[in-house]
Every structure is written in C-alpha cells, then in structure tokens.
Amino acid sequence: MVEARVGGGDVFLAVWLPGTSLPGGGRLLLFPIMRALFPGSFDPVTQGHRDVLRRAALLFDEVVVCVMCNSNKTGRFPIRERLDRLRAAATDLSNVTVDSHTGGLLVDYCRRVGIDVVIRGVRGVADLDYEMPMARTNYELAGVETFFIAADPTLAHISSTLVTAMSQQGRVPNDDVSALRPAGGGGSEAGEGQVR
C-alpha cells in the first residue's frame, strides 16, 4: 500500500491486489484518503477541543488541527504554547498533525494543504447559527465542506471564553476546568479536566 497523487492533487491510498484482472496479473485499487482540518484559536485549548479532535481522528484518515491566527487580535496564550498544548492533546493520535496559519482565509489554508473538509464542534443552536454562514461561504469560495461534531453533553457548557473569564477571576487556577464540569461528569483518564 502506498499513497499516490492522482489528477488535481487528490491523495489516494493505492492497493495492489494480485490476480488476473489486469494484463500484468493483478488489480490496482485507489481509495481516497479523507483529510480534514480542525481550525480554531484554541486560546486556551479545552477538554471540549480535545474531545472533538479525538472524535474527528476516528472519522478521518488524517486530521490537521490548526491554530488560526488573527493579527488584529492578541491572544491570551502565545501561539507556541497553544501549539504545544494541542500536540500534548494529540500525543496518542497518530493521524493528527498540528499546524498554525497566520493571515489569509481558512479556505486559503485548505487550498494550500489540499484539504476540503473542515471540522467544527458545536455546543448548541447558537454555535450552529454562528457557524452556518461561514460554512456556506467556505463552500462557495473553495468547495470546502463543513462537518459538524456535536459536543459531548458533559463538556458542552465549557468554552475558551468561559475558562478565560473564570481564570481571570481566580476561579480556575492553572486553567484546570475540572471544577466547571458537572458532578459525575468526570472521566477516568489521567489529567481529565486539565486544559491542554
């Protein structure tokens, strides 16, 4: 099995099956490799982000999680730290890579790296109302589809904005969001509740 680029740069998994279908005595099968982009500011990275990333990694062959940088905004955490936290969150996900993009539109990044699916986590109707116009625009500009992943109900109330606000009030020491999770909603995984 090898990766092969065919036509307009699409990536396929090429599998050679011995047999008699081709003059050379076998068949060549091409399977498209499903690649997706999970973009965000990730300022800070939350358990909700981590959950969406893990679930996306199960659904797609490759996932690029990308810190999208807006030069007009100053983030709470430096980009390098956000990238490190995302790498830590993806340590056991072999099909996930971490990147950043400064300047330009999300679709510009998608075109550059050959991705045509964007992953977005949604916590409720308000998130969906916010995301739909962007999803339509990304499709109209570059044919980029948006794949929505519903938030885990035990994490749906957590947002980067909430973590930042609570931390600024001293209510979330070291960005540990476990106190923001509902009773009984904790996982057994080591480090559960830590913002990564």
The pLDDT, as a whole number, for residue 98 is 98
pTM to 2 decimal places: 0.73
Catalytic residue list contains 123: yes
Cis preceding-peptide flag for 182 (omega within 30 of 0): no
Catalytic residue list contains 101: no
CA distance 105 to 3: 28
Hey, what domains does the chain have and what are their CATH numbers?
A: 1-33 (no CATH), 34-180 (3.40.50.620)
Q: What is the mean predicted confidence (pLDDT) over 58-69?
A: 96
The answer to whether 49 is a known ligand-binding residue is yes
Annotated active-site residue in 82, 160, 167, 196: 160
The pLDDT, as a whole number, for residue 133 is 96
Catalytic residue list contains 167: no
The answer to whether 123 is a known ligand-binding residue is yes
The pLDDT, as a whole number, for residue 149 is 94
Instruction: Give the model confidence (pLDDT) of 119-170 as tens digits.
Output: 999 988 998 999 999 999 999 999 999 999 998 878 776 766 666 667 666 6
Single-letter amino acid code for the residue at 28: L
Q: What is the mean predicted confidence (pLDDT) over 22-47?
A: 80
Single-letter amino acid code for the residue at 18: P
The pair of three-digit structure tokens given for residue 176, joined into one six-digit string = 């540990």
DSSP 95: T
Annotated active-site residue in 49, 50, 82, 85: 49
CA distance 110 to 119: 12
